[in-house]
Amino acid sequence: MNDASSTLDATITGDLLIGGEAVAGRDNAFNAVDPKTAKPIDPPFKGGTTDDVAKACSLAADAFDAYRETTLEQRAAFLEAIATRILGLGDALIDRACTESGLPRPRIEGERGRTVGQLRLFASVIREGSWLGARIDRAQPERKPMPRADIRLRMIPLGPVAVFGASNFPLAFSVAGGDTASALAAGCPVVVKAHPAHPGTSELVGRAIQQAVKDCGLPAGVFALVGGSGNAIGGALVANPHIKAVGFTGSRRGGLALVAIAAVRPEPIPVYAEMSSINPLFLLPAALKARGATIGRDFIGSLTMGAGQFCTNPGLVLAVDGPDLEAFMTSASDTIQNAAALTMLTGGIQSAYKSGVEQLEGHKNVKTVARGQAEVGPVEARAGLFVTDLTSFLSDERLRDEVFGSSSLVVRCPDVGSLRVAAEALEGQLTATLQMDDGDHEVARSLLPVLERKAGRILVNGFPTGVEVCHAMVHGGPYPATSDPRSTSVGSLAIERFLRPVCYQDLAEALLPVSLQNTNALAIPRRIEGVIGKD
């Protein structure tokens, strides 16, 4: 695909994208809102109806068998075509995403790079082929006392997948984000529910995917984009019998609502929901003594990045009380007081953040350490740093609730042993971070078994904001970080969420899938008689 052919018309019409066409919505109209001005952005979007959802899901089901048996090269080329089409949107996409989200241009440009990068990562995963999980145990007709049948296994896609765009990542966790990329890589058609905070951005990216479907000669039902300002469309999408799995990033309340719908269907389906995490940061004694002030400054940089609107934002700090902690507290306090108020993604997110901060400020056992600079814009929020003692933290579960935004609570622990006590009290987390030096190894060794049970990713001497898209990344964790701790929503392992194993016993060679035939025509890794190779 050359550069000229990859250029897309960036006109936004407010339509749904179903069956390879733009479809006018028939439900209540709504507009995106510029969070910097609180003013509506044209054009208006008319929401979809349950009939629109049913049509999109039916077309996805019709497309499934053809799409899942595309060759590895065809499917990889499709993901690469999506990436090319997204880049072809140029500044129109960047400008619209900035306007709808209030996020700065470098952040959106970086997010576009990540979106394109993960599509290309999954293209390479598809071509390499180990995700197919091919296993062959050949027949042993002479085995005594019973002969063994010829038994072969491969992974196949689950079926059409519903993906919900996230509010805080209008590109990387949205229409062409990680859930969509991994589901399409697995061979699953995707129906996306666009987030109402950035419908224009969603339409532009949706049109890029829709055009890539046409470019690659795939069935039109491989992709659809539906939307609306309420919850009815999302509920209908999860309840539709053609949908076989769900990818979601958002609040605990929203995720659990989808899990409940999926659980009571005549055919229950998996919901991979990323929901809630406060991402504890443990300041171990030697590190705190050696560089407490530096850690305090850098911690606030992480806390306030993007107005704290990251699922990995460090919302909790645990450390042994004493003079060394005071150096950290002074540095963090000084830094946060100079932090400008930043625009949040939506008025609803700002309202929830302010409510969470007010609860901390009003708690009898919580002290306000420092606040950031006052708000100027209509949807801005001030950063906040608070402190409590371990007894209060352990006795009041409200102090372990996520406050989505640039707010963090420091817990003063009486001794090193109490760090583990505090860790045991935590819910499941996306991340847990250890700030440590060589003298902290014994303390870290005592914490690691707990943190392995509590978190999906353990960091050392860094900060959790920022998730690398690579093969070894885990972006998931025990409940309530996610609804299913066995998976990740970032990295190449994410493809496994949308696959299931099928075993073929004594099937004729001519009827076997290509990946399981005697000749390894795909040149993929296979486990034959327990040994992995490319035979």
Tokens of 186: 């697995």
Could you give the CA distance from residue 33 to residue 349 in angstroms, rounded to a whole number? 13
Residue type, 522: L
Q: Could you write out the DSSP letters of every residue in 286-330? A: HHHHHHHHHHHHHHHHHHHGGGG--TT---EEEEE-SHHHHHHHH
Active site residue 274: yes
- Point out the catalytic residue in the list 100, 274, 380, 402: 274
Question: Collapsing DSSP states into helix, strand and coil, what is residue 435?
Answer: strand
Q: How far apart are alpha carbons 389 and 212 in whole angstroms?
A: 55
- DSSP H helices, 150-251, are 178-186, 199-215, 232-239
d(CA 358, CA 360): 5
Please answer whether residues 165 and 202 qualify as being in contact, where contact means their C-beta atoms are separated by less than 8 angstroms. Answer: yes
CA angle 14, 16, 19 (to 5 degrees): 145
Q: Mention every residue, 6+ apart, whose C-beta is less than 8 A from residue 83.
A: 115, 116, 119, 120
CA 404 to CA 347: how far, in whole Å?
13
98 is catalytic: no
- Catalytic entry in 311, 380, 402, 413: 311
- Cα dihedral 343, 347, 349, 355, rounded to 10, equals 100
d(CA 275, CA 430): 9
Local structure of 438: helix, strand or coil: helix
Helix (H) or strand (E) holding 418: helix 417-424
Closest by CA position to 407, among listed 455, 361, 453: 361
Tokens matching residue 170: 């209008």
User: What is the distance between the alpha carbons of residues 509 and 519, in angstroms, rounded to a whole number?
Assistant: 10
- Residues marked active site are found at 274, 311
